């Protein structure tokens, strides 16, 4: 028995993007060699892209049938943020992005320590001294394993590399 599911905020847009992407992939696969024969190089990619397009259209049809439940009386944007992009998730994604940007400048040790501290705070821990100690222990374990077991040279950082003790390089 098939029942319709409640539609999530942003689901219809996502499904429309999936269908558009699948159609683009089908066109790209067709451009490889056309449909000259069953053994042509582009046939398998075309079959895969066609399957993606068909299932995407089926899912889009099911999504259109679903009803968006909004008992809270929120706008669509507020509902989207509440359900699919909560502030904690956005903040953590921002921290990961900042970590990637700062890694070469401030080095692995400093950047990772700050990242671990801030991550624990963003994820809900309020015990600053405990977080500082755990971050230090985890970072020391990672450093020892990567330096001794794997012989990986971790980035010193262009801003602080000259001030890093030789033991930590």
Report the interhelical angle of 11-33 vs 43-65 (nearest 10°).
Answer: 160
The pLDDT value given to residue 3: 59
Predicted confidence band of residue 2 (pLDDT cuts 50, 70, 90): low
Asked if the model's pLDDT at residue 169 lies above 90, the reply is no
Q: Check whether 86 has a pLDDT greater than 80.
A: yes
**Percent share of the chain, pLDDT over 70:** 91
Check residue 149 and give its pLDDT: 87
Could you state, in order of their start, the residue ranges of all structural domains in the chain? Answer: 11-83, 87-168
Is the pLDDT assigned to residue 164 strictly greater than 70? no
pLDDT of residue 77: 78
For 15-61, the three-class secondary structure string (H helix, E strand, C coil) is HHHHHHHHHHHHHHHHHHHCCCCCCCCCHHHHHHHHHHHHHHHHHHH
13-17, 37-41, 133-137: least confident range? 37-41
pLDDT tens-digit map of 25-42: 999 999 988 777 778 788
pTM: 0.58
Render pLDDT for 31-84 as a digit per residue (tens, 0 to 9): 988 777 778 788 899 999 999 999 999 999 999 988 877 767 788 778 777 777
Q: Report the chain's mean pLDDT, rounded to a whole number.
A: 87
Contact 50, 58 (CB under 8 A): no
What is residue 4's predicted lDDT score, i.e. its pLDDT? Answer: 63
């Amino acid at each position: 028995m098939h029942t319709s599911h409640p539609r999530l905020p942003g689901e219809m847009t996502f499904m429309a993007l999936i269908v558009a992407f699948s159609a683009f992939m089908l066109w790209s696969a067709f451009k490889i060699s056309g449909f000259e024969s069953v053994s042509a190089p582009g046939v398998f990619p075309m079959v895969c892209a066609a399957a993606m397009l068909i299932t995407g259209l089926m899912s889009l049809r099911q999504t259109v049938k679903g009803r968006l439940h909004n008992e809270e009386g929120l706008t669509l944007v507020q509902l989207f943020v509440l359900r699919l992009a909560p502030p904690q998730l956005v903040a953590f994604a921002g921290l990961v992005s900042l970590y990637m940007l700062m890694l070469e400048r401030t080095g692995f040790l400093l950047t990772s320590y700050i990242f671990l501290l801030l991550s624990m705070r963003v994820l809900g821990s309020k015990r600053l001294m405990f977080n500082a100690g755990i971050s230090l222990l985890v970072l020391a374990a990672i450093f020892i394993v990567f330096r001794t077991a794997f012989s990986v040279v971790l980035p010193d950082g262009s801003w602080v590399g000259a001030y890093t003790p030789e033991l930590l390089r």
